[in-house]
Structure 1
Amino acid sequence: MSGFAAEWLALREPADRQARDASLLRRAADWLTEGGGRATVLDLGCGSGSTLAALQPLLASASTVWRLLDDDPVLLAFAMERAEQLGAEAETRLADLSDVAAIPLEGVRLATASALFDLASRDFIEAIAERLTAASVGLYAALNYDGSTVFSPSHPLDGIVLAGFNRHQLRPKGLGSGASLGPAAARALARALEARGYAVTIAESPWRLASEDAALARAHVEGMADAVGELDVIDAEELEAWRQMRIDSAAGGRTIVGHLDILALPD
């Protein structure tokens, strides 16, 4: 599983890097460093360190330490190696993200996450919002899937496949109890923090996949088709025809996959 996860993260990182809203990323960096002195960033579900790679270049002159948190030791090793390459001071913590009470927020000014909260249930989101508020910690959460995907050229089954995929996204993913919020998670997180007095900004951060992103576009299609196939809501032959058409057109077509970035700062 670790090897697969590392390959998937490496495949999507160029598209993620292009998709991040530059204004929110800059504001997150400014807020992190505006008080001067030493600041700690807690990267939730750090993976191979994509958030660190995006934010650290904006902190080059600041005294910042990264606390990299994940439940996968292989990914933590990748993230630490990346921190060293970027000259960032960092430490790793192997932890179960679902245990919100145990998330190490001591001394943290900003928590970050990428492509994480769409895996979370409502109770996880409420719990993390409560903990961030109690500690007056800001949050920069990027690349949360918003439920939209637009293909070009189109196919008659695009809509029903997307609806099935979004339904599959609601299955429990282990971050909290019960169903995941999937495409609704980003706005639920924003509302939870706004209700606790945070100033929240949401920005669109879609993948815009073209010919140079064909491998990622194909992997996205495979993931959608596999998920919908588990639901058994589309004739298997029709779903396979959709999959094959999408695979064949990945190099020459375009795909836009919607995501949302969130910056939430305590008042």
Structure 2
Amino acid sequence: MTGEFSTDWLTLREPADAAARATDLPALVRSGAVVRDLGCGTGSMARWLAPRLPGPQHWILQDRDPALLAYAAQHGPAAAADGSPVTVETAEGDVAGLTAADLEGVSLVTCSALLDLFTVDEVAALADVCVASGTPALFTLSVVGEVTFDPPHPLDAEVAAAFNEHQRRETGGRRLLGPEAVGAAAEAFAKAGASVTTRPSPWRLGPAHAELTAEWLRGWVAAAADQRPELRTDDFLATRLGQLEAGALRVTVGHQDLFAQKD
């Protein structure tokens, strides 16, 4: 798997992530007794979901970054929805190539903002192992390639298209799904014999999210410029950051959440 994320960035985005996730999907979870969180980062998914599920829970936090795992272990959720205890353990390693042995005794598989880093074959393999083991999956905040600015700018569509191309790039011999991730996952789970429910989960960023918006905007534009250097992204970025500083910029960043379980 590719992708490196800092504790600072993941902490900065956590409130927006929490506000965006679809709140009705946790109600579809039959049991959260043992949850395996793929690409857990700082543990934000556990902190959001554990208080929404009743009963004692044990979370297996999996990530390739030992520093993130250490942070997640130290900042785990305090209690379940009914006050039951929540415990955590960490598992260092790549989240691609999940096996039936990894899911033995697991009640739910989760991930957040991760599927776009998978390939179509990796998503299909993940769906197959989840359905074969009877393990439901809740995957949140997958990008869908939709960004809307208020006010608009003439380069919005071109920069967005370049960013989406960057998300679909080939790296290390792997072709990433990027904004096609949710569609590919829904198709793979359905083919494997699961029922699938999706919900929109957009970030809605305004003046109250200036720091997050600035960091996101810089990264978004940098990826677009890397993909299409001929775009005049310096002027675009300067204009957008000026509007943000003036409190005059609002951005909606599209994501989708997905819940799948065997019929």
TM-score (structure 2 length as normaliser)? 0.91
The residue aligned with 2:56 is 63
Say if 1:241 and 1:156 are closer, same or farther in 2 by CA, change over 3 A.
same
Q: Secondary structure at the match of 2:88?
A: strand
More helix by share: 1
Could you list the runs of 4 or more consecutive aligned residues of structure 1 that deviate by over 2 angstroms after TM superposition? 25-28, 84-87, 98-103, 231-235
- Mark the runs of 5 or more structure 2 residues left unpaired by the alignment: 80-84
Distance 2:96 2:189 in 1: 19
Say if 1:220 and 1:78 are closer, same or farther in 2 by CA, change over 3 A.
same
The residue aligned with 2:20 is 19
Once the two structures are superposed, residues 226-267 of structure 1 have per-residue CA deviations (whole angstroms, 9 ceiling, x without a partner) of 1122123534xx211001011111232100000000010111
State which of 194, 197, 212 in structure 2 corresponds to 1:198. Answer: 194
| Number of equivalenced pairs | 254
State which of 135, 150, 153 in structure 2 corresponds to 1:152. Answer: 150
Contact 2:100–2:129, Cα closer than 8 Å, also in 1? no
Deviation of residue 145 (structure 1)?
A: 0.3
Distance 1:165 1:249 in 2: 21
Contact 2:123–2:185, Cα closer than 8 Å, also in 1? yes
1:10-159 matched pairs, under 5 angstroms: 10-28=11-29, 31-32=30-31, 39-59=33-53, 61-83=54-76, 85-86=78-79, 88-101=86-99, 104-159=102-157
The residue aligned with 2:169 is 171
- Mark the runs of 5 or more structure 1 residues left unpaired by the alignment: 34-38
Code of the residue aligned with 1:76 in structure 2: it is L
Once the two structures are superposed, residues 20-64 of structure 1 have per-residue CA deviations (whole angstroms, 9 ceiling, x without a partner) of 011113323xx125xxxxx210001111111101111123x5021
Distance 1:147 1:25 in 2: 25
Say if 1:192 and 1:160 are closer, same or farther in 2 by CA, change over 3 A.
same
Contact 2:37–2:111, Cα closer than 8 Å, also in 1? yes
Question: Which has the higher mean CA deviation after the structures are superposed, 93-102 or 147-156?
Answer: 93-102
Q: Secondary structure at the match of 1:195?
A: helix
Once the two structures are superposed, residues 146-166 of structure 1 have per-residue CA deviations (whole angstroms, 9 ceiling, x without a partner) of 000001111100000000000
Say if 1:110 and 1:84 are closer, same or farther in 2 by CA, change over 3 A.
closer
Once the two structures are superposed, residues 169-227 of structure 1 have per-residue CA deviations (whole angstroms, 9 ceiling, x without a partner) of 012467xx521010001111011001111111000000000101111111121112211
Code of the residue aligned with 1:156 in structure 2: it is P
Code of the residue aligned with 1:169 in structure 2: it is Q
Contact 2:189–2:196, Cα closer than 8 Å, also in 1? yes
Question: Which has the higher mean CA deviation after the structures are superposed, 238-247 or 256-265?
Answer: 238-247
Say if 1:241 and 1:102 are closer, same or farther in 2 by CA, change over 3 A.
farther
Deviation of residue 102 (structure 1)?
A: 8.0
The residue aligned with 2:235 is 241
State which of 209, 226, 231 in structure 2 corresponds to 1:230. Answer: 226
Q: Secondary structure at the match of 2:107?
A: strand
Deviation of residue 88 (structure 1)?
A: 1.8
Contact 1:119–1:173, Cα closer than 8 Å, also in 2? no
Contact 1:210–1:253, Cα closer than 8 Å, also in 2? yes
Q: Secondary structure at the match of 2:24?
A: helix
The residue aligned with 2:82 is none
Q: Secondary structure at the match of 1:214?
A: helix
Question: Which has the higher mean CA deviation after the structures are superposed, 101-110 or 40-49?
Answer: 101-110
Distance 2:77 2:48 in 1: 14
RMSD: 1.9
